[in-house]
Amino acid sequence: MSVFQEHDARATDYDLIHFEALGPEADHLREATSIAMERGELPPTHTSLMTPRSVQDYLEEHPETRLPKLITIKTHSVLPANYLAGAKKSVITRSAGYDHLEHLAATVNLASLREYCVTAVAQTVMKLLYAAAGELNHYTHQTATFDRKNSRAFVELGPHKSLTVYGVGKIGKRVYELAAANGLSVQGVDLRQDSLQNVYGEGFTFVSKDEAIMSSDIIVNAMNLTKNQASPFYNVGYFTKEYLAQARDGLIFINVTRGEIAPEAGLWDLYRAGKIMGLGLDVFSSEAEFATLVSSDEEVGDDHAAARHMVRKALDRSANIYVQPHQGFNSDLAARTKAFEAIKHVVAWHRNQGTCFDEQLPYY
């Protein structure tokens, strides 16, 4: 019988601990584990601990805990050095992003979730796109006086508008499909374009980064953040102010993966200059830190200052800017799929006698 409860670490060892597990996700982790055990995919003696705490917070409360060789975490957990020493450990990050663990790929078996949020995030792109193209904040203000004569023209989406998806992985592919279904001309930018073309077929058009910036009316960032400077996929600061300045006037820019890929200071400057006419941001640079600063007037760096300006403009509806905190990952279906995908990795790890996951970093 699988165990899902807080415990006295001195009395019980567990085969698996899920950290930062709460709400519907925790319920679905229990469900997925029970189903896997009923199917014989996990040992009948398998025991699991569920805790809403991060690794460091839990260990502070339960210092005698012996962490098992397999754990699952989210982005707020920090793995202790003494845990990483010795026999090779296995860690599943219950997130689509994996940059918080990427530096451990050579010494730890690492897996992330690459399926759960695909449609949820892609639909968030479309929500932000229609808000920005439709000048939603402006039209909301116009409703106060019901002024129809002085309303600005919004951007009508159709084949005359070109949308480029940067990063055509699972999420990017779904964004591409939804944008095409909405009548836009769509193209993709991805270093893996040759292999992806073989997988996706002839219905997908790929262009170079240089060609894309000159031909795009709308840019969607769907790339995973890669901080490893030795990797060909390194993309911290990818969307520089200088690069985006080459775009057509009236650009719409949407970012739904990581803020570090598109520094906010450049976006804010280009918006104020009129080069960018609409922004949709689901993410911000150094987001955990920014969350503590967003409502303060504390002096901060250029990117956080710009992000704070954009959030405030979005909240008072005085600019064509739309922001939200990762809402795309929180759909009803995403929460369940997320949990089941995590347990799929657990099952694979057991099938491989604890040596590795079927799919793990480095992915490319």
What is the rounded CA–CA span in Å between residue 104 and residue 227?
12
Distance CA 129, CA 271 (A): 16
Q: At what angle do helices 23-38 and 332-351 cross, to 10 degrees?
A: 40
**In degrees, to the nearest 5, what angle opens at C-alpha 27 toward C-alphas 24 and 29?**
110
Mean predicted confidence (pLDDT) in 150-179 = 95
- The Cα–Cα gap between 166 and 181 comes to 18
317 lies in a domain?
A: yes
- Structurally, how many domains does the chain consist of? 2
Note the pLDDT tens digit of each residue in 231-252.
Answer: 899 999 999 999 999 999 999 9
Q: Would residue 122 count as lying in a domain?
A: yes
- The yes-or-no verdict on residue 196 having pLDDT over 50 is yes
Evaluate whether residue 364 is within a structural domain: no
Q: Is 2 within the bounds of a domain?
A: no
**124 and 28 within one domain:** no
Does 359 reside within a domain?
A: no
Average pLDDT for the chain: 91
- Domain containing 21: what range? 16-116+332-351
Q: Is 189 inside a domain boundary? A: yes
Q: Answer yes or no: pTM beyond 0.85.
A: no
Q: What is the pLDDT of residue 200?
A: 92
Q: For residue 349, what pLDDT is reported?
A: 98
pLDDT tens per residue, range 251-262: 999 999 999 999
Tell me, yes or no, whether 79 and 167 share the same domain.
no
* Domain presence at residue 4: no
Q: Are residues 138 and 220 in the same domain?
A: yes
Q: What is the band of 364 on the pLDDT scale with cuts at 50, 70, 90?
A: low
Task: CATH number of the domain at 207, please.
Answer: 3.40.50.720
Contact 156, 129 (CB under 8 A): no
Angle at 252 between CA 140 and CA 220, to 5 degrees: 120
Q: What is the pLDDT of residue 329?
A: 67
Could you read off the pLDDT of 62-91 as tens digits, one per residue?
999 999 999 999 988 999 999 999 999 999
- Are 159 and 306 part of one and the same domain? yes
pLDDT in tens, 285-324: 988 788 888 888 888 899 999 999 999 999 999 999 999 9
Q: Is residue 11 part of a domain?
A: no
Looking up tokens 């469900």 gives 31
Please enumerate in sequence order all residues whose Cβ is within 8 A of that of 308, keeping only pairs 6 or more positions apart, or say none: 290, 293, 294, 300
